[in-house]
Amino acid sequence: MVAVKEERSLEEGLLKLKNQNDASGCRITTCVILSTFVAICGSFSFGVSVGYTSGAEVGMIKDMGLSIAEFSAFGSFSTLGATFGALFSGKMAIMLGRKGTMWVSDILCITGWLCIAFAKDVLWLNIGRFSSGIGLGLISYVVPVYIAEITPKHVRGTFTFSNQLLQNCGLAMVYFCGNFINWRMMALLGALPCFIQGIGLFFVPESPRWLAKASTDKELENSLLRLRGRDADISSEASEIQVMTKMLESDSKSSFSDLLQRKYRHTLVVGIGLMLIQQFSGSTAVLCYANTIFRKAGFSVAIGSTLLGIFVVPKAMIGLILVDKWGRRPLLLASASGMCLFCMFIGLAFTLQKMQLLLELTPVFTFICVTLYIASYAIGVGGLPWVIMSEVFPMNIKVTAGSIVTLASWSSSSVVTYAFNFLFEWSTQGTFYIFGAVGGAALVFIWFLVPETKGLSLEEIQLSLIREPDEINHT
């Protein structure tokens, strides 16, 4: 009974601090911009890795004498390594801090890219791909979490979505440059942002929310002063973070059993569900095997990959601009609708091709639909699951829940990446009808289960979500 009263009083204190924090939390400083830029440098390497197999396929098979099976294995080692990295991403982020985890990911990614760039045989290619994959598994968790924890709430979505923008920049580099840059040089370009991030981390602050759990109040306040400005009044924001941290620490320590508590089920279902939607709607398969799809449709691979390279960055800007204006739910619904629709259209194009109908139009129609599918993916489903994942989990379960959600993303990505070629051989049109059906199911899931988090602080989001089950029980 005493614990319940104490929790209630902490909740009331947090709500009182909300209005005080609104005025002081709206400042965007140079430090916030620099810290976000340093964090998303790793995301560029992420994007290069996703599209690398598409751009390097022809040159690597020719230079290294690889069979199709060996090259397919090389591609899958990235998602395998990322799955392995995801297992430890949460624990590492809490033990080493957000910055420490990014340093570890930089070392792994740089090592991996250098192994690929200077490989003499397939063994070193696979070692490099697996090493960089582990780094990607860490990056995919810690970067959105770090950005969400350092940015003011009114621009948190935009700044966190910049993670997706830099992924698309890396993807664009591979698509655009893969036609005329050697695959070894592309590997070196993939390592370069990790060098930049490794150096930049020396000049940015640690996450204040991690410091609230792992360090002293003084270090927490110093971090907030650097992020909000030396002349800013950070007392209310610091108090809000400390109140929420204290309230959550009154619960049990982070473990798998915590996730089974009723008050956390909703957030876990949302986190895992969005990651499964992201992967099983076909995004990884389309991004990794865009050239294969163009080739099967009869569209020029060189023209298709070059145009995609030009297009992927501007379309990612749309989500970046709209995420804090429209909100998370409208963008997710629009994104899932577009992915569902254009997958069905791609399936229709391959159906017409198989029936020998409109053969002169289906290649161009397929390219347009693939491009619009990727655009739909980029404005919502591509980046927002990571944004929402970084927002909804309280600090006391963020480690375990974040690791499970990241693991769900990479393990399902491995399944899709591995199965796509078999599905594509089985039925070109059927493959995309399946992806389209997943997009349709995603609309239902998002409409009924995904909360809107625009304009709320992390503490407000987490408090509202964990109180929902109790309110339901008392009605």
pLDDT of residue 191: 92
Do 32 and 159 contact (CB within 8 A), yes or no? yes
Q: What are phi and psi of 45, to 5 degrees?
A: -65, -35
pLDDT at 27 over 80: no
Please check whether residue 273 is in contact with residue 417, taking contact to mean a CB–CB distance below 8 angstroms: no
pLDDT digits (tens, 9 = 90+) for 352-361: 988 888 888 8
Q: What is the mean pLDDT of the chain?
A: 81
Closest to 140 measured CA to CA, from 207, 94, 85: 85
- pLDDT of 465: 66
Render the burial of 181-196: b for 16+ CB within 10 Å, e for the rest.
bebbebbebbbebbeb
Q: Which amino acid is at 250?
A: S
Are domains 29-204 and 258-474 of this chain identical in fold?
A: yes
Model confidence over 94-133: pLDDT tens digits?
Answer: 888 899 999 999 999 999 999 999 999 899 999 999 999 9
| CA separation for the pair 390, 321 (Å, rounded) | 19
Instruction: List the alpha helices (DSSP H) in 327-394.
Output: 328-354, 362-379, 384-392
Q: Where are the domains of the chain?
A: 29-204, 258-474
Task: Pick the range with the lowest mean pLDDT from 12-16, 30-34, 76-80, 167-171.
Answer: 12-16
CATH fold of 29-204, please?
Answer: Growth Hormone; Chain: A; (1.20.1250)
Ranges 200-214, 264-278, 335-349, 386-400: which has the least confidence: 386-400
CATH assignment of 258-474? Answer: 1.20.1250.20
- Reference 368, options 439, 293, 437; nearest CA is 293
Q: Is the pLDDT of residue 19 over 50?
A: no
Q: In sequence order, what are the residues at sequence separation of 6 or more whose Cβ sits closer than 8 angstroms to the Cβ of residue 50? A: 167, 170, 171, 284, 287, 288
Q: Is the pLDDT of residue 93 over 70?
A: yes
What confidence tens digit (pLDDT) does each residue in 230-262 have? Answer: 887 777 877 877 776 766 555 445 556 666 777
Q: State residue 215's pLDDT score.
A: 65
Per-residue DSSP letter, 1: -
Region 49-61 average pLDDT: 81
* pLDDT band, residue 475 (cuts 50/70/90): very low
